[in-house]
Structure 1
């Protein structure tokens, strides 16, 4: 069950990440050079590595990774909401 929840959170995180990257928010222009490396795909790779690590922790039966990924997803959703609604 933890693997399914993490996977669904990962899909949501990828969708939010793409929406933020496509938003052309002025804040994105102030990010360091490595954020724009490979057309923004570098940050998608980091997103994937976080998801993969959380899935591996869940597969091993360790609860620390999935809990950390849920916290990350909540913070990621909040920051995406702030950016997409122009509150920042």
Structure 2
């Protein structure tokens, strides 16, 4: 009998691309790393912008960028630890 071998290939995500997407699109750019967190932060950013007439973006936007970079880095670490031989 022949054995079937399944190979799962996952590629690391780019921290630089994550930073660029979150810089350009805010929470929507965070969806590159995590769809759920991207939607959450987009809504937080939008609601805060409505109540503060956009001033909150000065504070929230850099936070979203940092979160995106950290989440992408953590994703890559988990990926490397999971598939080490």
Query: Which bin holds the TM-score, normalised by the shorter protein?
Result: 0.3 to 0.5
Q: TM-score, normalized by length of structure 1? A: 0.45
The answer to which structure has the higher helix fraction is 1
Q: TM-score, normalized by length of structure 2? A: 0.46
